[in-house]
Amino acid sequence: MVLKKLFGPEGYKILKKGIWREHPIFAAGLGICSALAVSNKVENAVAMGAGVTFVLIATAIIVSTLRSLIPQRVRIITYMITIASFVIIVDKFLKAFFPVISESVGPYVGLIITNCIIMGRAEAFYIQNKVYHSVLDAVSNGLSYSYTLITIAIVREVLGFGTLLGFRVMPGGWENWVVMTMAPGAFFLLGLALWISRAIAERGSAEEEA
């Protein structure tokens, strides 16, 4: 309840909605490309999650500040240019400070531009709401994107490489599940995660109705 006081009732609702009820990956099915592609190692997932969160927050600030100035007809291209500019910052930052991650994440950083989460939130929320609420929404969406990515990445890295953040965690005789590091593993795991989250969500809504 500290959170409720801290952000105000309205802000708290927005935060909660993004993190569970309207979870961008599970409930809305957005941003799946990158969720699948960069979740093979935890460090990649952390970098990607932080990058997307940064771009989301920056876009939220820009778009909601300028919301009364952006003409209706060119709003999509405005989002795109805003997003693309911040993605360049993320890309250059990774290249300069984390060259190894930048190398292995490759083109997927550039593809944050077409990550539907950012575009979708801009169109659905930031263009109509105040800066403060938009930033809260960006934080909660960014957080839920990151925690999902990191959870999937933990499973994939432990099973596929036998390591966690590069440290060996599996016993010596462990045979790596190579398939986990590749595309099929990503599909299966995300499918499973979707299944679990749906099942929990359905139970939750059934209880609310009862």
Partner 1 sequence: MAHALTIFIAAILTHNIALTYLLGMCPFISLSRSIKTAFGMSIAVIFVVTLTAAINWPIYHKILVPLESEIIYYIVFIIVIAASVQLVEMIMERFFPPLQAAFGIFLPLITVNCTVLAVSLFMVLRDYSYGMTLVFALGSAVGWMLAIMIVAAINEKLKLIGDIPGGLKGSGIIMIIAGIIALAFMGFGGMVDIN
Q: Give how many residues touch partner 1 by CB under 8 A.
A: 42
Q: Which amino acid is at 172?
A: G
Binding mask 149-168 for partner 1 (x = CB under 8 A): --------------------
Asked if 182 is part of the footprint of partner 1 (rule: CB under 8 A), the reply reads yes
Instruction: Name which position in 168, 188, 204, 205 contacts partner 1 (CB under 8 A).
Output: 188
Distance of alpha carbon 179 from alpha carbon 122, whole angstroms? 36
Find the angle CA(57)-CA(51)-CA(177) to the nearest 5 degrees: 140
| Residue 110 CB, nearest approach to partner 1 (Å) | 5
Instruction: Name which position in 9, 71, 107, 172 contacts partner 1 (CB under 8 A).
Output: 107
Greatest CA separation found in the chain?
62
Asked if 37 is part of the footprint of partner 1 (rule: CB under 8 A), the reply reads yes
| Residue 125 CB, nearest approach to partner 1 (Å) | 16
Asked if 99 is part of the footprint of partner 1 (rule: CB under 8 A), the reply reads no
CB nearer to partner 1: pick between 8 and 29 = 29
**CB 139 within 8 Å of CB 145:** no
**CB 146 within 8 Å of CB 49:** yes
Stretch that binds partner 1, among 12-20, 83-91, 126-134, 150-158 (CB under 8 A): 83-91
Instruction: Name which position in 33, 124, 165, 169 contacts partner 1 (CB under 8 A).
Output: 33
Strand 167-168, strand 163-164: pairing: antiparallel
**CB 154 within 8 Å of CB 46:** no
Stretch that binds partner 1, among 4-12, 33-41, 129-137, 156-164 (CB under 8 A): 33-41
Q: Label each residue of 42-98 as H, E or C.
A: HHHHHHHHHHHHHHHHHHHHHHHHCCCCCCHHHHHHHHHHHHHHHHHHHHHHHHHHC
Instruction: Name which position in 19, 46, 67, 110 contacts partner 1 (CB under 8 A).
Output: 110
Find the angle CA(137)-CA(25)-CA(44) to the nearest 5 degrees: 95
> In 3-state terms, what secondary structure has residue 146?
helix
Query: What residue ranges bind partner 1 (CB under 8 A)?
Result: 29-33, 36-37, 76-77, 80-81, 84-85, 87-88, 91-92, 106-107, 110-111, 113-116, 119, 179, 182-188, 190-191, 194-196, 198-199, 202
